[in-house]
Amino acid sequence: MTLQGDNKFKVLRFNPENLALALSNEFTGEEEIRNKFHYHYFLQYFENIKNGPAVQTILIETKHISLSYLKDYSYYFASTFQQYSSFCKRVHFFSTEFTQDDLLEMIQNASPKAESVWDSYAGYTIVKPLPNAKLGSTVLKIQQQQSVFSTIRDYPVYLLGKKIIIQSLAFQEQDGIVSRCATIAIWTSLHKNAHQFFTALPAPVEITLAAQYAFSEGRLMPNEGLDKNQICKAFETFGVVTELRADWKLKNPLMIKRFIYAYLKNGFPVLVGLKTKDEQKREQNHIITFVGFKDLIDDADARIEEENGQLTHPANVDEIHPIYRADYINEYYAHDDQSGPFSTVSFVNKNKQLRISRKAFNEKFKMRDEFSQVTTIIVAISHMIKIAFDDVAEEVYHLDFAFKELKFSINFQWDIYLSSTQDYHQSIRNQEEYSDHLKAYLLTTFLPQYIWVARMVVEEDVLMEFVFDATALKISNKICLLAYPVYEEEVTSFIQQSLKIHDPETLKIIFQNTHYIDLLKNSINHLEGIQH
Protein backbone atom coordinates (compact mmCIF):
# COMPACT_ATOMS: atom_id res chain seq x y z
CA MET A 1 0.00 0.00 0.00
CA THR A 2 1.25 3.48 -0.87
CA LEU A 3 -0.09 7.02 -0.58
CA GLN A 4 0.86 7.83 -4.18
CA GLY A 5 -2.59 9.08 -5.13
CA ASP A 6 -3.14 11.17 -2.02
CA ASN A 7 -2.75 14.87 -2.85
CA LYS A 8 -2.99 16.04 0.77
CA PHE A 9 0.76 15.53 1.16
CA LYS A 10 3.17 15.97 -1.71
CA VAL A 11 6.87 15.03 -1.67
CA LEU A 12 9.37 16.94 -3.84
CA ARG A 13 13.12 16.80 -4.24
CA PHE A 14 14.65 20.05 -2.96
CA ASN A 15 15.82 22.26 -5.84
CA PRO A 16 15.13 25.86 -6.95
CA GLU A 17 12.20 24.88 -9.16
CA ASN A 18 10.45 22.83 -6.50
CA LEU A 19 11.06 25.42 -3.78
CA ALA A 20 9.32 28.01 -5.98
CA LEU A 21 6.45 25.56 -6.52
CA ALA A 22 6.17 24.86 -2.78
CA LEU A 23 6.03 28.57 -1.87
CA SER A 24 3.50 29.50 -4.55
CA ASN A 25 -0.29 29.72 -4.18
CA GLU A 26 -3.31 30.38 -6.39
CA PHE A 27 -2.59 34.13 -6.46
CA THR A 28 1.17 33.95 -6.89
CA GLY A 29 2.81 31.74 -9.49
CA GLU A 30 6.26 30.20 -9.43
CA GLU A 31 7.76 32.95 -11.58
CA GLU A 32 6.59 35.60 -9.13
CA ILE A 33 8.00 33.57 -6.23
CA ARG A 34 11.42 33.64 -7.94
CA ASN A 35 11.22 37.45 -7.74
CA LYS A 36 10.82 37.42 -3.96
CA PHE A 37 13.79 38.06 -1.68
CA HIS A 38 12.67 35.39 0.78
CA TYR A 39 12.81 32.72 -1.91
CA HIS A 40 16.46 33.51 -2.62
CA TYR A 41 17.26 33.73 1.07
CA PHE A 42 15.76 30.28 1.65
CA LEU A 43 17.77 28.84 -1.24
CA GLN A 44 21.00 30.06 0.35
CA TYR A 45 19.92 29.10 3.85
CA PHE A 46 18.96 25.53 3.01
CA GLU A 47 21.95 24.86 0.80
CA ASN A 48 24.40 25.82 3.53
CA ILE A 49 23.17 24.21 6.76
CA LYS A 50 26.32 23.56 8.78
CA ASN A 51 27.08 20.51 10.91
CA GLY A 52 24.77 18.36 8.82
CA PRO A 53 23.55 17.72 5.29
CA ALA A 54 21.71 20.42 3.39
CA VAL A 55 17.98 20.14 2.82
CA GLN A 56 17.19 17.44 0.26
CA THR A 57 13.42 16.93 0.45
CA ILE A 58 10.30 19.10 0.64
CA LEU A 59 7.02 17.78 2.04
CA ILE A 60 4.00 19.94 1.25
CA GLU A 61 1.00 19.77 3.59
CA THR A 62 -1.63 21.24 1.28
CA LYS A 63 -4.26 22.07 3.93
CA HIS A 64 -3.20 23.44 7.30
CA ILE A 65 -4.91 25.54 9.95
CA SER A 66 -2.66 28.31 11.28
CA LEU A 67 -4.22 29.83 14.41
CA SER A 68 -2.18 33.01 13.96
CA TYR A 69 -3.38 33.51 10.37
CA LEU A 70 -6.92 32.48 11.30
CA LYS A 71 -7.15 35.44 13.70
CA ASP A 72 -5.86 37.80 10.99
CA TYR A 73 -8.30 36.26 8.52
CA SER A 74 -11.31 36.53 10.85
CA TYR A 75 -10.69 40.20 11.62
CA TYR A 76 -9.77 41.50 8.15
CA PHE A 77 -9.49 39.16 5.18
CA ALA A 78 -12.83 37.36 5.61
CA SER A 79 -14.80 40.54 4.78
CA THR A 80 -13.22 41.31 1.40
CA PHE A 81 -15.13 40.89 -1.89
CA GLN A 82 -12.29 38.78 -3.28
CA GLN A 83 -12.51 35.47 -1.49
CA TYR A 84 -9.42 34.27 0.38
CA SER A 85 -9.18 30.86 1.99
CA SER A 86 -8.96 30.37 5.73
CA PHE A 87 -6.59 27.43 5.14
CA CYS A 88 -2.84 27.74 4.63
CA LYS A 89 -0.22 25.49 3.11
CA ARG A 90 2.56 24.20 5.36
CA VAL A 91 5.88 23.35 3.73
CA HIS A 92 8.26 21.03 5.62
CA PHE A 93 11.98 20.56 5.00
CA PHE A 94 14.12 17.46 5.55
CA SER A 95 17.87 16.93 5.15
CA THR A 96 17.33 13.28 4.11
CA GLU A 97 16.15 12.11 0.71
CA PHE A 98 12.85 10.24 0.50
CA THR A 99 9.96 9.82 -1.94
CA GLN A 100 6.17 9.80 -1.99
CA ASP A 101 6.25 6.03 -1.62
CA ASP A 102 8.06 6.38 1.73
CA LEU A 103 5.22 8.31 3.39
CA LEU A 104 3.43 5.21 4.62
CA GLU A 105 6.62 3.92 6.27
CA MET A 106 7.01 7.34 7.90
CA ILE A 107 3.50 7.08 9.31
CA GLN A 108 4.02 3.55 10.56
CA ASN A 109 7.70 3.96 11.59
CA ALA A 110 8.09 0.73 9.67
CA SER A 111 11.79 0.92 8.89
CA PRO A 112 15.11 2.36 10.09
CA LYS A 113 14.94 4.77 7.15
CA ALA A 114 11.68 6.23 8.48
CA GLU A 115 13.33 7.10 11.79
CA SER A 116 16.32 8.68 10.03
CA VAL A 117 13.92 10.82 7.97
CA TRP A 118 12.21 12.12 11.11
CA ASP A 119 15.61 12.82 12.68
CA SER A 120 16.53 14.93 9.65
CA TYR A 121 13.61 17.35 10.10
CA ALA A 122 14.85 20.91 9.38
CA GLY A 123 11.70 22.97 9.99
CA TYR A 124 8.71 24.43 8.19
CA THR A 125 7.20 27.56 6.74
CA ILE A 126 3.52 28.41 6.31
CA VAL A 127 2.36 29.90 3.01
CA LYS A 128 -0.64 32.17 3.50
CA PRO A 129 -3.39 32.15 0.81
CA LEU A 130 -2.81 35.84 0.06
CA PRO A 131 -1.44 37.78 -2.93
CA ASN A 132 2.36 37.63 -3.15
CA ALA A 133 2.24 34.32 -1.20
CA LYS A 134 3.10 35.84 2.16
CA LEU A 135 5.03 33.60 4.55
CA GLY A 136 3.40 32.89 7.88
CA SER A 137 4.97 31.34 10.95
CA THR A 138 8.34 29.88 9.98
CA VAL A 139 10.37 27.66 12.32
CA LEU A 140 13.73 26.53 10.96
CA LYS A 141 16.71 24.58 12.21
CA ILE A 142 19.59 26.88 13.13
CA GLN A 143 22.60 26.90 10.84
CA GLN A 144 25.27 28.49 13.01
CA GLN A 145 25.70 25.83 15.67
CA GLN A 146 28.79 27.47 17.22
CA SER A 147 27.03 30.77 17.90
CA VAL A 148 24.93 31.84 20.89
CA PHE A 149 21.17 31.63 20.35
CA SER A 150 19.76 31.97 23.85
CA THR A 151 16.49 33.37 22.46
CA ILE A 152 15.46 30.06 20.91
CA ARG A 153 12.80 27.84 22.48
CA ASP A 154 11.25 24.43 21.88
CA TYR A 155 8.55 24.22 19.22
CA PRO A 156 6.47 21.04 19.03
CA VAL A 157 5.58 20.19 15.43
CA TYR A 158 2.82 17.66 14.80
CA LEU A 159 3.06 15.99 11.40
CA LEU A 160 1.50 12.69 10.27
CA GLY A 161 0.89 11.72 13.88
CA LYS A 162 4.51 12.38 14.83
CA LYS A 163 5.55 14.93 17.43
CA ILE A 164 8.85 16.61 16.56
CA ILE A 165 10.63 19.07 18.82
CA ILE A 166 12.70 21.70 17.05
CA GLN A 167 14.67 24.46 18.76
CA SER A 168 14.29 27.78 17.01
CA LEU A 169 12.53 31.14 17.17
CA ALA A 170 9.56 31.77 14.90
CA PHE A 171 9.80 34.17 11.96
CA GLN A 172 7.25 35.47 9.50
CA GLU A 173 6.89 37.98 6.69
CA GLN A 174 4.82 41.13 7.03
CA ASP A 175 1.66 41.04 4.94
CA GLY A 176 1.49 44.81 4.39
CA ILE A 177 -2.11 44.91 5.63
CA VAL A 178 -2.50 43.91 9.28
CA SER A 179 1.27 43.83 9.88
CA ARG A 180 4.41 45.73 8.95
CA CYS A 181 8.01 45.11 10.05
CA ALA A 182 7.44 46.56 13.53
CA THR A 183 4.46 44.28 14.15
CA ILE A 184 6.49 41.25 13.05
CA ALA A 185 9.45 42.30 15.23
CA ILE A 186 7.11 42.48 18.25
CA TRP A 187 5.54 39.13 17.31
CA THR A 188 9.00 37.52 17.14
CA SER A 189 10.01 38.89 20.53
CA LEU A 190 6.74 37.80 22.14
CA HIS A 191 7.37 34.24 20.95
CA LYS A 192 10.24 34.17 23.44
CA ASN A 193 8.70 36.52 26.03
CA ALA A 194 5.59 34.37 26.36
CA HIS A 195 7.74 31.46 27.52
CA GLN A 196 9.97 33.62 29.71
CA PHE A 197 7.25 35.54 31.51
CA PHE A 198 4.14 33.36 30.96
CA THR A 199 2.40 36.12 29.04
CA ALA A 200 0.12 36.16 25.99
CA LEU A 201 1.21 35.15 22.48
CA PRO A 202 -0.94 37.22 20.07
CA ALA A 203 -1.43 37.09 16.31
CA PRO A 204 -0.10 39.99 14.18
CA VAL A 205 -3.54 41.59 13.89
CA GLU A 206 -3.88 41.62 17.68
CA ILE A 207 -0.51 43.37 18.00
CA THR A 208 -1.46 46.05 15.49
CA LEU A 209 -4.81 46.58 17.24
CA ALA A 210 -3.01 46.88 20.59
CA ALA A 211 -1.06 49.82 19.19
CA GLN A 212 -4.21 51.78 18.35
CA TYR A 213 -4.23 53.46 21.78
CA ALA A 214 -1.03 55.26 20.79
CA PHE A 215 -2.23 55.88 17.23
CA SER A 216 -1.96 59.48 16.01
CA GLU A 217 -3.01 59.83 12.36
CA GLY A 218 -3.92 58.00 9.17
CA ARG A 219 -5.56 54.60 9.37
CA LEU A 220 -4.56 51.67 11.55
CA MET A 221 -5.26 49.09 8.83
CA PRO A 222 -4.03 48.76 6.17
CA ASN A 223 -1.10 49.34 8.47
CA GLU A 224 1.72 51.67 7.42
CA GLY A 225 3.98 50.82 10.35
CA LEU A 226 4.28 51.52 14.08
CA ASP A 227 6.38 54.18 15.80
CA LYS A 228 8.38 53.53 18.96
CA ASN A 229 5.56 54.68 21.26
CA GLN A 230 3.10 52.32 19.58
CA ILE A 231 5.61 49.47 19.86
CA CYS A 232 5.99 50.04 23.60
CA LYS A 233 2.20 50.28 24.02
CA ALA A 234 1.71 47.00 22.17
CA PHE A 235 4.22 45.21 24.39
CA GLU A 236 2.55 46.63 27.49
CA THR A 237 -0.83 45.29 26.32
CA PHE A 238 0.57 41.76 26.32
CA GLY A 239 1.99 41.81 29.82
CA VAL A 240 5.55 43.09 29.46
CA VAL A 241 7.24 46.45 29.89
CA THR A 242 9.96 47.91 27.70
CA GLU A 243 13.41 49.40 28.02
CA LEU A 244 13.59 52.01 25.25
CA ARG A 245 16.76 53.76 24.15
CA ALA A 246 16.71 56.40 21.42
CA ASP A 247 18.22 59.71 20.29
CA TRP A 248 20.97 60.97 22.61
CA LYS A 249 21.15 57.66 24.47
CA LEU A 250 22.58 56.13 21.28
CA LYS A 251 25.35 58.69 20.76
CA ASN A 252 27.88 56.42 22.45
CA PRO A 253 28.53 53.55 20.01
CA LEU A 254 30.00 51.30 22.69
CA MET A 255 26.87 51.59 24.81
CA ILE A 256 24.74 50.44 21.85
CA LYS A 257 26.67 47.18 21.65
CA ARG A 258 26.82 46.75 25.42
CA PHE A 259 23.10 47.32 25.85
CA ILE A 260 22.12 44.84 23.14
CA TYR A 261 24.50 42.16 24.40
CA ALA A 262 23.50 42.59 28.05
CA TYR A 263 19.89 41.65 27.35
CA LEU A 264 20.43 39.29 24.44
CA LYS A 265 23.03 36.99 26.01
CA ASN A 266 20.60 35.18 28.28
CA GLY A 267 17.52 35.09 26.12
CA PHE A 268 15.88 38.52 25.81
CA PRO A 269 15.27 39.41 22.12
CA VAL A 270 16.22 42.99 21.25
CA LEU A 271 14.39 45.13 18.70
CA VAL A 272 16.74 47.46 16.81
CA GLY A 273 15.34 50.33 14.75
CA LEU A 274 17.39 51.29 11.71
CA LYS A 275 17.63 54.21 9.33
CA THR A 276 18.80 52.90 5.98
CA LYS A 277 18.87 53.72 2.27
CA ASP A 278 17.79 51.56 -0.64
CA GLU A 279 19.71 51.22 -3.90
CA GLN A 280 18.13 54.46 -5.16
CA LYS A 281 19.47 56.23 -2.02
CA ARG A 282 15.95 56.73 -0.67
CA GLU A 283 15.89 56.92 3.13
CA GLN A 284 13.83 54.29 4.91
CA ASN A 285 13.07 53.21 8.47
CA HIS A 286 13.20 49.54 9.36
CA ILE A 287 13.22 47.42 12.51
CA ILE A 288 14.70 43.96 13.08
CA THR A 289 14.89 41.59 16.05
CA PHE A 290 18.32 40.54 17.31
CA VAL A 291 18.20 36.85 18.28
CA GLY A 292 21.84 35.70 18.64
CA PHE A 293 25.51 36.53 18.27
CA LYS A 294 28.86 35.00 17.39
CA ASP A 295 31.05 34.83 20.48
CA LEU A 296 34.76 35.36 19.83
CA ILE A 297 35.71 33.12 22.73
CA ASP A 298 34.04 30.18 21.02
CA ASP A 299 35.54 30.89 17.61
CA ALA A 300 39.27 30.38 17.07
CA ASP A 301 39.29 31.96 13.59
CA ALA A 302 37.60 35.09 14.91
CA ARG A 303 40.17 35.36 17.72
CA ILE A 304 42.95 35.22 15.14
CA GLU A 305 41.22 37.97 13.16
CA GLU A 306 40.95 40.05 16.34
CA GLU A 307 44.66 39.62 17.04
CA ASN A 308 45.44 40.70 13.48
CA GLY A 309 43.33 43.81 13.95
CA GLN A 310 40.77 42.80 11.34
CA LEU A 311 37.73 43.04 13.56
CA THR A 312 36.04 46.38 14.01
CA HIS A 313 36.14 48.21 17.30
CA PRO A 314 34.35 51.57 17.30
CA ALA A 315 36.86 53.31 19.52
CA ASN A 316 40.41 53.17 20.79
CA VAL A 317 40.11 50.68 23.64
CA ASP A 318 43.20 52.07 25.34
CA GLU A 319 41.18 55.20 26.06
CA ILE A 320 38.09 53.35 27.28
CA HIS A 321 37.47 52.24 30.78
CA PRO A 322 35.98 49.97 31.73
CA ILE A 323 36.31 47.52 28.84
CA TYR A 324 33.43 45.16 28.11
CA ARG A 325 33.46 41.81 26.39
CA ALA A 326 30.56 43.12 24.28
CA ASP A 327 32.90 45.73 22.77
CA TYR A 328 34.54 43.01 20.69
CA ILE A 329 31.43 41.16 19.57
CA ASN A 330 30.64 42.51 16.13
CA GLU A 331 28.62 39.76 14.47
CA TYR A 332 24.99 39.20 15.39
CA TYR A 333 21.99 37.36 13.97
CA ALA A 334 18.55 38.86 13.48
CA HIS A 335 15.10 38.00 12.27
CA ASP A 336 14.91 40.50 9.43
CA ASP A 337 11.53 40.71 7.72
CA GLN A 338 13.20 42.03 4.56
CA SER A 339 15.43 38.96 4.15
CA GLY A 340 14.80 36.03 6.47
CA PRO A 341 15.37 34.31 9.84
CA PHE A 342 18.78 34.23 11.55
CA SER A 343 20.28 36.61 8.97
CA THR A 344 23.74 37.98 9.70
CA VAL A 345 24.19 41.59 10.82
CA SER A 346 27.51 43.15 11.78
CA PHE A 347 28.72 46.26 13.56
CA VAL A 348 31.26 48.12 11.42
CA ASN A 349 33.05 51.44 11.35
CA LYS A 350 31.95 53.49 8.37
CA ASN A 351 33.14 57.07 7.99
CA LYS A 352 34.19 56.97 11.68
CA GLN A 353 30.65 56.15 12.76
CA LEU A 354 29.19 52.90 14.04
CA ARG A 355 26.89 51.32 11.50
CA ILE A 356 25.08 48.02 11.15
CA SER A 357 25.88 46.08 8.02
CA ARG A 358 23.06 43.85 6.76
CA LYS A 359 23.09 41.40 3.90
CA ALA A 360 20.40 42.51 1.48
CA PHE A 361 19.52 41.47 -2.07
CA ASN A 362 19.90 43.82 -5.00
CA GLU A 363 17.49 43.88 -7.93
CA LYS A 364 19.32 40.92 -9.51
CA PHE A 365 19.05 38.96 -6.24
CA LYS A 366 22.74 39.15 -5.53
CA MET A 367 23.78 39.74 -1.92
CA ARG A 368 24.99 43.26 -1.15
CA ASP A 369 26.07 45.06 2.02
CA GLU A 370 23.56 47.60 3.27
CA PHE A 371 24.69 50.01 6.00
CA SER A 372 22.23 51.35 8.54
CA GLN A 373 22.25 53.73 11.48
CA VAL A 374 20.80 52.57 14.79
CA THR A 375 17.94 54.88 15.79
CA THR A 376 16.09 52.90 18.46
CA ILE A 377 16.64 49.93 20.76
CA ILE A 378 13.72 48.27 22.54
CA VAL A 379 13.74 45.20 24.77
CA ALA A 380 10.68 43.67 26.43
CA ILE A 381 11.06 42.51 30.03
CA SER A 382 8.99 41.55 33.04
CA HIS A 383 7.59 44.37 35.17
CA MET A 384 9.43 42.72 38.07
CA ILE A 385 12.76 43.85 36.57
CA LYS A 386 13.33 47.34 37.92
CA ILE A 387 17.09 47.74 37.58
CA ALA A 388 18.19 48.55 34.02
CA PHE A 389 21.48 47.91 32.28
CA ASP A 390 22.46 51.57 32.72
CA ASP A 391 22.16 51.22 36.51
CA VAL A 392 24.45 48.19 36.58
CA ALA A 393 26.88 49.84 34.15
CA GLU A 394 27.26 52.73 36.58
CA GLU A 395 28.04 50.33 39.43
CA VAL A 396 30.55 48.50 37.25
CA TYR A 397 32.23 51.79 36.35
CA HIS A 398 32.96 52.41 40.06
CA LEU A 399 34.05 48.79 40.62
CA ASP A 400 36.40 48.95 37.65
CA PHE A 401 37.90 52.15 39.02
CA ALA A 402 38.30 50.59 42.47
CA PHE A 403 40.20 47.52 41.26
CA LYS A 404 42.47 49.58 39.06
CA GLU A 405 43.07 52.00 41.93
CA LEU A 406 44.05 49.01 44.08
CA LYS A 407 46.60 48.07 41.36
CA PHE A 408 44.94 44.83 40.29
CA SER A 409 47.53 43.65 37.78
CA ILE A 410 45.42 41.41 35.51
CA ASN A 411 43.96 42.95 32.34
CA PHE A 412 40.32 41.93 32.39
CA GLN A 413 37.04 42.68 30.65
CA TRP A 414 33.51 42.92 32.01
CA ASP A 415 30.86 40.44 30.93
CA ILE A 416 27.50 41.90 32.01
CA TYR A 417 24.09 40.39 31.32
CA LEU A 418 20.56 40.01 32.64
CA SER A 419 19.49 36.54 33.77
CA SER A 420 16.83 34.61 35.60
CA THR A 421 18.11 32.92 38.77
CA GLN A 422 17.18 29.53 37.30
CA ASP A 423 19.41 30.09 34.27
CA TYR A 424 22.16 31.50 36.47
CA HIS A 425 22.16 28.47 38.75
CA GLN A 426 22.19 26.16 35.76
CA SER A 427 25.20 27.98 34.31
CA ILE A 428 27.01 27.71 37.66
CA ARG A 429 26.53 23.93 37.67
CA ASN A 430 28.14 23.77 34.22
CA GLN A 431 31.16 25.93 35.12
CA GLU A 432 34.15 23.57 35.32
CA GLU A 433 36.51 26.16 36.81
CA TYR A 434 34.20 26.84 39.75
CA SER A 435 35.26 24.81 42.77
CA ASP A 436 32.78 22.48 44.45
CA HIS A 437 32.59 24.58 47.61
CA LEU A 438 32.00 27.75 45.54
CA LYS A 439 29.18 26.02 43.63
CA ALA A 440 27.66 24.87 46.91
CA TYR A 441 27.83 28.44 48.23
CA LEU A 442 26.18 29.94 45.15
CA LEU A 443 23.54 27.28 44.57
CA THR A 444 22.32 27.48 48.16
CA THR A 445 22.19 31.28 48.25
CA PHE A 446 18.63 32.60 48.00
CA LEU A 447 18.29 35.06 45.12
CA PRO A 448 15.41 36.97 43.47
CA GLN A 449 13.79 35.71 40.29
CA TYR A 450 15.84 38.05 38.07
CA ILE A 451 19.44 39.18 38.52
CA TRP A 452 22.18 41.06 36.74
CA VAL A 453 25.53 39.28 36.53
CA ALA A 454 28.78 41.20 36.13
CA ARG A 455 31.85 39.05 35.62
CA MET A 456 35.49 40.08 35.45
CA VAL A 457 36.83 37.80 32.71
CA VAL A 458 40.03 36.99 30.85
CA GLU A 459 39.05 35.09 27.69
CA GLU A 460 37.15 32.05 29.03
CA ASP A 461 38.28 32.46 32.65
CA VAL A 462 36.11 34.19 35.25
CA LEU A 463 38.17 36.04 37.87
CA MET A 464 35.39 37.55 39.95
CA GLU A 465 31.63 37.76 39.86
CA PHE A 466 29.14 40.32 41.12
CA VAL A 467 25.42 39.53 41.29
CA PHE A 468 22.88 42.37 41.40
CA ASP A 469 19.22 42.28 42.36
CA ALA A 470 17.33 43.14 39.15
CA THR A 471 14.11 43.59 41.16
CA ALA A 472 15.61 46.14 43.59
CA LEU A 473 14.63 49.78 43.96
CA LYS A 474 16.95 52.20 42.20
CA ILE A 475 17.19 54.33 45.33
CA SER A 476 18.86 51.47 47.21
CA ASN A 477 22.64 51.52 47.64
CA LYS A 478 22.70 47.77 48.22
CA ILE A 479 21.53 46.36 44.90
CA CYS A 480 24.57 44.06 44.78
CA LEU A 481 23.84 40.73 46.50
CA LEU A 482 27.03 38.74 45.95
CA ALA A 483 30.67 39.62 45.31
CA TYR A 484 33.09 36.72 45.26
CA PRO A 485 36.36 35.57 43.68
CA VAL A 486 36.36 32.58 41.33
CA TYR A 487 40.11 32.24 40.76
CA GLU A 488 40.44 31.95 44.47
CA GLU A 489 44.15 31.66 45.17
CA GLU A 490 45.30 34.66 43.17
CA VAL A 491 42.25 36.90 43.42
CA THR A 492 41.42 36.10 47.03
CA SER A 493 44.95 36.82 48.16
CA PHE A 494 44.87 40.14 46.29
CA ILE A 495 41.59 41.16 47.96
CA GLN A 496 42.77 40.08 51.40
CA GLN A 497 46.01 41.99 50.96
CA SER A 498 44.17 45.11 49.75
CA LEU A 499 41.78 45.02 52.69
CA LYS A 500 44.71 44.65 55.04
CA ILE A 501 47.03 47.40 53.78
CA HIS A 502 44.35 50.08 53.25
CA ASP A 503 42.54 51.70 56.13
CA PRO A 504 38.71 51.75 56.13
CA GLU A 505 38.48 55.42 55.13
CA THR A 506 40.72 54.91 52.10
CA LEU A 507 38.74 51.84 51.04
CA LYS A 508 35.52 53.81 51.43
CA ILE A 509 36.85 56.48 49.08
CA ILE A 510 38.08 53.90 46.55
CA PHE A 511 34.86 51.85 46.41
CA GLN A 512 32.48 54.77 47.08
CA ASN A 513 30.15 52.24 48.70
CA THR A 514 31.15 50.30 51.80
CA HIS A 515 28.57 47.64 50.90
CA TYR A 516 31.05 46.13 48.40
CA ILE A 517 33.75 45.92 51.05
CA ASP A 518 31.38 44.05 53.35
CA LEU A 519 30.32 41.67 50.56
CA LEU A 520 33.92 40.83 49.66
CA LYS A 521 34.84 40.19 53.28
CA ASN A 522 31.77 38.04 53.87
CA SER A 523 32.19 35.91 50.76
CA ILE A 524 35.87 35.22 51.44
CA ASN A 525 35.19 34.36 55.08
CA HIS A 526 32.27 32.14 54.07
CA LEU A 527 34.26 30.26 51.44
CA GLU A 528 37.19 29.78 53.78
CA GLY A 529 34.78 28.45 56.40
CA ILE A 530 33.41 25.89 53.94
CA GLN A 531 36.92 24.79 52.95
CA HIS A 532 37.87 24.22 56.55
- Dump the DSSP string for 274-291: EEEE-TT--EEEEEEEEE
Give percent above pLDDT 70 in the chain.
86
Rounded Cα gap, residues 176 and 438, in angstroms: 54
Give the domains, in start order, of the chain with CATH numbers. 9-168 (no CATH), 247-381 (3.90.70), 389-531 (no CATH)
Which of 26-35, 217-226, 340-349, 425-434 is least confident?
217-226
pLDDT tens by residue, 406-454: 999 889 999 999 999 999 999 999 888 888 888 888 999 999 999 999 9
Can you give the pLDDT at residue 339?
Answer: 84
Instruction: State how beta strands 153-159 and 162-168 pair.
Output: antiparallel
> Is the pLDDT reported for residue 103 higher than 70?
yes
CA 489 from chain centre, in angstroms, equals 37
- Answer yes or no: are the C-beta atoms of 233 and 213 closer than 8 Å: yes
> Is the pLDDT reported for residue 311 higher than 60?
no
> Is the pLDDT reported for residue 46 higher than 70?
yes
Can you give the pLDDT at residue 49?
Answer: 54
pLDDT tens by residue, 465-476: 999 999 999 888
Can you give the pLDDT at residue 301?
Answer: 43
Can you give the pLDDT at residue 318?
Answer: 42
> Is the pLDDT reported for residue 243 higher than 80?
yes
Can you give the pLDDT at residue 2?
Answer: 45
Average pLDDT over residues 191-214: 86
H or E stretch at 394: helix 389-405
Can you give the pLDDT at residue 6?
Answer: 56
Average pLDDT over residues 314-342: 79
Can you give the pLDDT at residue 52?
Answer: 46
Spatial CB neighbours of 406, under 8 Å, sequence gap ≥ 6: 494, 498, 502, 510
Rounded Cα gap, residues 319 and 182, in angstroms: 37
Rounded Cα gap, residues 334 and 291, in angstroms: 5
- Answer yes or no: are the C-beta atoms of 344 and 331 closer than 8 Å: yes
Can you give the pLDDT at residue 284?
Answer: 82
Spatial CB neighbours of 186, under 8 Å, sequence gap ≥ 6: 207, 226, 231, 234, 235, 271
Which of 46-50, 196-200, 487-491 is least confident?
46-50
Rounded Cα gap, residues 379 and 159, in angstroms: 34
Q: How confident is the model at residue 359 (pLDDT cuts 50, 70, 90)?
A: confident
Rounded Cα gap, residues 315 and 327, in angstroms: 9
Rounded Cα gap, residues 444 and 429, in angstroms: 12
CA 474 from chain centre, in angstroms, equals 27
Q: How far is CA 94 from CA 48, 137, 250, 277, in A?
A: 13, 17, 43, 37
> Is the pLDDT reported for residue 68 higher than 80?
yes
SS3 401: helix
Residues, the chain: 532
* Residue 517 or 2, more confident: 517
Which of 113-127, 291-305, 359-373 is least confident?
291-305
- Neighbouring-strand partners of residue 356: 347, 372
Average pLDDT over residues 155-181: 89
Can you give the pLDDT at residue 146?
Answer: 67
> Is the pLDDT reported for residue 115 higher than 80?
yes
Query: How many other C-beta atoms can be found within 10 angstroms of the C-beta atom of residue 318?
Result: 7
Q: How confident is the model at residue 217 (pLDDT cuts 50, 70, 90)?
A: low
- Neighbouring-strand partners of residue 421: none
Of 112, 166, 113, 111, the closest CA to residue 138 belongs to 166
Query: How many other C-beta atoms can be found within 10 angstroms of the C-beta atom of residue 63?
Result: 12
Average pLDDT over residues 175-180: 77
Rounded Cα gap, residues 205 and 512, in angstroms: 51
Rounded Cα gap, residues 32 and 48, in angstroms: 24
Average pLDDT over residues 264-288: 86
Rounded Cα gap, residues 489 and 41, in angstroms: 52
Of 96, 86, 41, 94, the closest CA to residue 63 belongs to 86
Rounded Cα gap, residues 206 and 379, in angstroms: 19
- Neighbouring-strand partners of residue 376: 246, 273
Q: Phi/psi of residue 456, each to 5°?
A: -90, 115
Average pLDDT over residues 395-403: 93
Spatial CB neighbours of 192, under 8 Å, sequence gap ≥ 6: 151, 152, 153, 169, 267, 268, 269
Rounded Cα gap, residues 172 and 188, in angstroms: 8
- Answer yes or no: are the C-beta atoms of 284 and 278 closer than 8 Å: yes
DSSP state of 243: E
Q: How confident is the model at residue 393 (pLDDT cuts 50, 70, 90)?
A: very high
> Is the pLDDT reported for residue 55 higher than 50?
yes
Average pLDDT over residues 210-237: 74
Spatial CB neighbours of 119, under 8 Å, sequence gap ≥ 6: 96
Can you give the pLDDT at residue 525?
Answer: 81
Which of 201-205, 273-277, 279-283, 515-519 is least confident?
279-283
> Is the pLDDT reported for residue 319 higher than 60?
no
The C-alpha angle 189, 147, 353, rounded to 5 degrees, equals 75
Which of 214-223, 272-281, 430-439 is least confident?
214-223
Average pLDDT, the chain: 85
Q: How confident is the model at residue 382 (pLDDT cuts 50, 70, 90)?
A: very high
Of 150, 411, 372, 188, the closest CA to residue 289 belongs to 188
